[in-house]
Structure 1
Amino acid sequence: MAASVPSAPAAGEGLRPARLSPRDVLKVGAVGLRTRPMRAFLSALGIAIGIAAMVAVVGVSSSSRADLDRALAALGTNLLTVAPGSTLTGGKAQLPLESESMVGRIGPVREVSAVGLVDEAKVYRTGKVPETDTNGIATYAARTDLRDATGAELRSGTWLNAATGTFPATVLGSSAAERLGIGHAGPDVQVLVGGKWFTVVGILKPAPLAPELDAAALVGWPAATSRLGFDGHPTTIYTRSRDASVEQVQSVLGATANPEAPNEVEVSRPSDALAARKAAGEAFTGLLLGLGAVALLVGGVGVANTMVISVLERRSEIGLRRSLGATRGQVRTQFLAESLLLSALGGAGGALLGALVTGVYALYQGWPVVIPAWAVLGGVAATLLIGAAAGLYPAIRASRLSPTEALSAS
């Protein structure tokens, strides 16, 4: 029996070109990178330097800004204080007992604490000191969270807590300890507060945000009430708010602390450092956007230049592929893939290099290392987008070359 012969395709029935899988696209796109490794390396290096410069500038600026924010935060940019003012008759006003809790209900307020002046509770080193020789030391009832609100730090000993706040224990301000001749805290160190012996459990460092604490003997709120006759009315309320809401909080503090007589309340104004912080943030933002745009533009020009030269040098390859059945779309896809691979290599390498430079420089300066994720991911993503845009024209130009024209030009 004779073997059957496959029939020829009917008239008008052509062979369909094979489709390229994603793996095939990567392979053909890497051809130009493998065959010209030095040129690909130098092109990727140019892109990497641009992206590294952008990431490093963003990272170094962000680290510097974090250090500036830390320094400004130490100056109390979000600290506001509430104190009693004067009555209509000129007398000393008084904050309500519940004023501290009412202030704590303000939405943007994150921390609230208070001190209350204990009148007539004078502080002496011993009972032999004349009553008139007070050294200007005042006694305050203090909340246990006062240090968090004021940023006060201990030089010696411990701070008041729920236990020691009920016993005759005191924490001295830096100036108060110096005037009393006390260099360290301890169970054997005592002072007279309001005629009663109190153990010095701690000594504070100078408190720049709350200088009134420097010349004070601080006792627990319960101990001041039970042992020194404190009436419970706060004389200074400290609040910490979100930076963006400081001015809003300031506008309602008076009416919140004393709804019946808001005009008898004194509220501190926001620190000038807050305005400086906002101005610095705006300046950094403008700088980063400008430098980032320039770096990405330089990288895009480098990719476009590399791909145009690649098309001109590989016309024979394009003609041969077209003669073997490659479609225009496949040729276009090849060069676009090559452009994206080149951009991805440069972008990833540049992002890592920029992060490394940022880390080394920030550690050298003693800054916190801050590398925004948007800078790294955004730099790589923007590089891919610009690489695609830059490789589009060379890819289209390569796909429009006819086989005969490409082969004859080789």
Structure 2
Amino acid sequence: MKNDLKPARLAPRDILRVGAVGLRARRARVVLSALGIAIGIATMVAVVGLSESSRADLMDRLDRLGTNLLTAEAAEDPMGGEVELPKNAVAMVERIGPVRQVTATADVDARIRRSDVVPEERSAGVIAQAARIDLLSTLGGEVEKGTWLTPAGERLPTTVLGARAADRLGVTRAGQTIMMNDTRVVVVGILAPLELVPTLDRVALVGFPAAERYFGFDGHPTTVFERSTDASVEDVRAVLARTISPGNEAVVKVSRPSDALAAKAATDEGLTNLMLGLGAVALLVGGVGVANTMVISVLERRQEIGLRRSLGATRQAIRLQFLTESLLLSALGGVTGALLGAAATYGFAQVQGWTAVVPPWSLAGGLAATLLLGVVAGLYPAIRAARLHPTVALNGT
């Protein structure tokens, strides 16, 4: 009875053990090859993580600030004339059903100086505006130092400075005075930065009655701020201009401040795509390094391959050995890179005060990319090793 001899098949555990032998024997080369892949994966994971963390922080800020704030300003007159909002603009907007809060500010013709010893031509780059006392509650702002305008204070020569205006004037506390034209004005408060309306960080705010009494203000608002229910923002936006200026809505420009923050997220997304491209290039370079390492490994281990083939190892076993070695090398770089990318995201988010967000898909995608890269980089060396004839391989030629 004739028995056919069949080559034994290697178990998965044996394949992993044999594939790991080559890595342990050339540790320095393995570390350098894996480093290229680690850099690429770390870059990609960190870019995605930082982008998502930044976007999550931005969305949190938008939720806190609200996306239901609309502003209305006088648009440029195509005929070149001067356009002003009507004095009763606030009262007219209040008649819109879904509107909850309405307030306004207005430009005031006043040159601001730190004191009367400063020449008038040397202003601090701070502008004066009149404000209604309900401005702060409508915008969701906060007073950092001192107090806000009161019903009595809005009639007196008192002012509340924006955060940047206070820095430019050198005012550090409430109770100090500044000059507005030739009038000495008492600073009663300093605002915290207003994210939705950053232009107010650079202004000195006085009450409407005080602006009319001391600075010749004519009562026409420059900007109207309105908050409505979240569900009705677009409906209010559609009728706001024609409500303020019936029959000539083209002279009123309506905008939503939160759109600027949302646009920032879109800008960040474009930068993220660019950085992902750079990470992909680094990953490709790492893949070339792995392929180079595997080709050299085949050349250096020709006699080992010939010995294994002469002892009965099949071509498939040789292919699996070197393909496994390539996969392990890529996986080592991928896991290291994923950990480094996640650590970088967490560290930078902590410094910025963000909540660290590392999407699971970025980690899974990075590892999948490294495994695919390992297959591609190791396929040719594995096939080349399997094609070596045992006699030729043993002779080292």
Give the TM-score taking structure 1 as reference length.
Answer: 0.56
* AA at the equivalent of 1:95: M
Give SS of 1:99's match.
coil
Residue 105 (structure 2) pairs with residue 114 (structure 1): no
Give the greater-gyration-radius structure (CA): 1
Residue 254 (structure 2) pairs with residue 268 (structure 1): yes
Higher mean Cα deviation, 353-362 or 311-320?
353-362
- Alignment match, 1:380: 367
1:166-315 pair list within 5 angstroms:
176=158, 204-205=191-192, 207=194, 208-209=197-198, 211=200, 214-216=205-207, 236-238=225-227, 253-255=237-239, 266-269=252-255, 277=264, 280-281=267-268, 284-315=271-302
Where in structure 2 are there 5+ consecutive unaligned residues?
A: 76-85, 106-127, 162-172, 176-188, 209-223
- Alignment match, 2:14: 24
d(CA) in 2 for partners of 1:33, 1:171: 78
What is the deviation of 1:210? 7.5
What is the deviation of 1:326? 2.4
d(CA) in 2 for partners of 1:370, 1:44: 26
What is the deviation of 1:305? 0.5
Residue 5 (structure 2) pairs with residue 15 (structure 1): yes
What is the deviation of 1:346? 1.4
Residue of structure 2 aligned with 1:99, choices 89, 96, 100: 96
* AA at the equivalent of 1:385: L
Determine if contact 2:98/2:229 at 8 Å carries over to the other structure.
no
Determine if contact 2:36/2:289 at 8 Å carries over to the other structure.
yes
What is the deviation of 1:21? 3.4
What is the deviation of 1:294? 1.8
Residue of structure 2 aligned with 1:44, choices 34, 40, 46: 34
- Alignment match, 2:144: 155
What is the deviation of 1:327? 2.2
Give the TM-score taking structure 2 as reference length.
Answer: 0.58
Give SS of 2:144's match.
strand
* AA at the equivalent of 2:24: R
What is the deviation of 1:336? 0.9
- Alignment match, 1:397: 384
Counterparts in 2 of 1:155 and 1:352: CA distance versus 1, 3 Å: same
- Alignment match, 2:178: none
- Alignment match, 2:24: 34
Determine if contact 2:49/2:342 at 8 Å carries over to the other structure.
no
* AA at the equivalent of 1:287: L
What is the deviation of 1:304? 0.3
- Alignment match, 1:339: 326
Determine if contact 2:133/2:151 at 8 Å carries over to the other structure.
no
* AA at the equivalent of 2:281: V
Counterparts in 2 of 1:251 and 1:334: CA distance versus 1, 3 Å: farther
Determine if contact 1:320/1:407 at 8 Å carries over to the other structure.
yes
Determine if contact 1:83/1:95 at 8 Å carries over to the other structure.
no
d(CA) in 1 for partners of 2:206, 2:350: 38
Determine if contact 2:19/2:324 at 8 Å carries over to the other structure.
yes
- Alignment match, 2:304: 317
d(CA) in 2 for partners of 1:91, 1:51: 60
Counterparts in 2 of 1:253 and 1:49: CA distance versus 1, 3 Å: closer
1:116-155 pair list within 5 angstroms:
139-140=132-133, 146-148=138-140, 152-155=141-144
Instruction: Give the paired residue count.
Output: 314
Determine if contact 2:36/2:283 at 8 Å carries over to the other structure.
no
Identity of aligned residues (%): 48
d(CA) in 2 for partners of 1:19, 1:288: 45
**Cα shift readout 1:38-92 (whole Å, capped 9, x = no counterpart):** 3323322343344445556x3797499769979x98xx9976314799xxxx885
* AA at the equivalent of 2:29: R
What is the deviation of 1:310? 0.9
Counterparts in 2 of 1:64 and 1:170: CA distance versus 1, 3 Å: farther
Counterparts in 2 of 1:172 and 1:389: CA distance versus 1, 3 Å: farther
What is the deviation of 1:274? 6.1
Residue 315 (structure 2) pairs with residue 328 (structure 1): yes
What is the deviation of 1:288? 1.0
Where in structure 1 are there 5+ consecutive unaligned residues?
A: 1-6, 103-111, 118-134, 160-167, 186-201, 218-234, 242-248
d(CA) in 1 for partners of 2:54, 2:9: 52
Give SS of 2:317's match.
helix
Give SS of 2:92's match.
coil
Determine if contact 1:60/1:361 at 8 Å carries over to the other structure.
no
